[in-house]
A = this chain, B = another copy of it.
């Protein structure tokens, strides 16, 4: 094992310091990740497509800049993976769909463009649920991504390839997308951190859409500092993105309060979701840590909020949008969509207008009520998922997205960090949801929590 090999599990911000110091070059780092991918990916299947030429060329450029003392910033030379529903120029964006194996994307997605402009190295494209419709990364065409700690277990989804790649140290960080929890669920299962930013803060231009009002792009990483570094680069109002509803003036981030002045809400409605005992215990312990930090922890209630009903409304809006996005594939014979995804999308296509209008209004009202609730507390804390990762041969729990959907529906930012493990050693996640554009508050609270709790992501068996 070379010194670089021992660094592959470092957080990106520490890798950046090593690049700054000249201890390693981006070329060393990129080669080492590529070698590790070559060794582990056949069994893990986190990457659908590795881009060694493109990556090595970018790494060489970054190494040259570093050698001349002109690194572009902390992400210069940083090897990053990209979920396969986000365009990388010259490579097909499959979105996990058989029917999208070609053509190659003509342009980078805006988030990828910004990453590259900051010097990041794109290592490859990661596996996901077909059409991002699922939470297991058990893809009927591209195979399963396995959990890095336990083969045969799901890493979660739909950004499961990205989360597994980060957890298995196959990249420094990754991009994923999140419509009802697709960044946070796999990050929680895999023991890493992820941020779903405020709606509109990160451009969705160049991303294969699932549900226009709920889709978000965000980072997955081993440390919250890394999430912040990536957000600093990709969190730019994009005047050419129709989903960016906020005007530039809205993007001023609220000031951070001292931790002791923060009120943290626990949401009764989500505490009532059936969760595994280990999740309940870890969550209770986490609340204790938060209280020990001087935060006021207070139970709040979102009147009439039913997580399962909310999730179903969100799913329905996504199914109807998907019926238009994938219209060309719906009628194909022989079908190229899986039976399951075809059934979901056909349902959205054929559902009555009144039912769909009801679902949209349902989401509007939830967003309204939740944003109102966030005037009384600074942050809401929940478990990220009600369960740890589970074997592929077990039925998928319907509650997977019950904790996460609220942040998509409301557009509020949500951060997941590791919250220890269950008795089997499988990671659990803790979620903080904040006010629009209050990402900095989430980072501050989560940072203090991690310092106090000492929770880290469990290292995979290599």
Interface of A with B (CB < 8 Å)? Answer: 212, 239, 242, 247, 249-250, 316-317, 319-321, 323-324, 327, 347-358, 360-361, 364-365, 368, 372, 375, 436
Does B360 lie within 8 Å of A349, measured CB to CB? no
Q: Given the complex, which residues of B lie within 8 Å of A350, measured CB to CB?
A: 352-354
Does A364 lie within 8 Å of B212, measured CB to CB? yes
Q: What number of copies of this chain does the assembly contain?
A: 2
Q: Given the complex, which residues of B lie within 8 Å of A249, measured CB to CB?
A: 250
Q: Provide a sorted-by-A list of 11 A–B residue pairs whose CB atoms are within 8 angstroms.
A: A242-B364, A242-B365, A319-B353, A320-B354, A320-B357, A321-B361, A324-B357, A350-B352, A351-B352, A352-B353, A353-B353
> Closest residue to A318 on the B side, CB-wise?
B357
> Closest residue to A375 on the B side, CB-wise?
B239
Does B353 lie within 8 Å of A327, measured CB to CB? no
The 9 closest A-B pairs by CB, nearest first: A351-B353, A320-B357, A320-B353, A323-B354, A242-B368, A349-B354, A353-B356, A348-B353, A356-B356
Q: Given the complex, which residues of B lie within 8 Å of A436, measured CB to CB?
A: 247
Does B247 lie within 8 Å of A353, measured CB to CB? no
Q: Given the complex, which residues of B lie within 8 Å of A242, measured CB to CB?
A: 364-365, 368
Q: Given the complex, which residues of B lie within 8 Å of A348, measured CB to CB?
A: 353-354, 357
Q: Which of A247, A350, A354 has the most CB of B within 10 A?
A: A354
CA distance A396 to B320 in the complex (A): 33
Q: Given the complex, which residues of B lie within 8 Å of A357, measured CB to CB?
A: 317, 320-321, 323-324, 348, 356
CB A44 to nearest CB in B, in angstroms, measures 36
CB A204 to nearest CB in B, in angstroms, measures 12
CA distance A324 to B361 in the complex (A): 10
CA distance A427 to B250 in the complex (A): 41
Q: Given the complex, which residues of B lie within 8 Å of A365, measured CB to CB?
A: 242
Q: Given the complex, which residues of B lie within 8 Å of A316, measured CB to CB?
A: 353
Q: Given the complex, which residues of B lie within 8 Å of A352, measured CB to CB?
A: 349-353
Q: Given the complex, which residues of B lie within 8 Å of A321, measured CB to CB?
A: 357, 361
> Closest residue to A211 on the B side, CB-wise?
B357
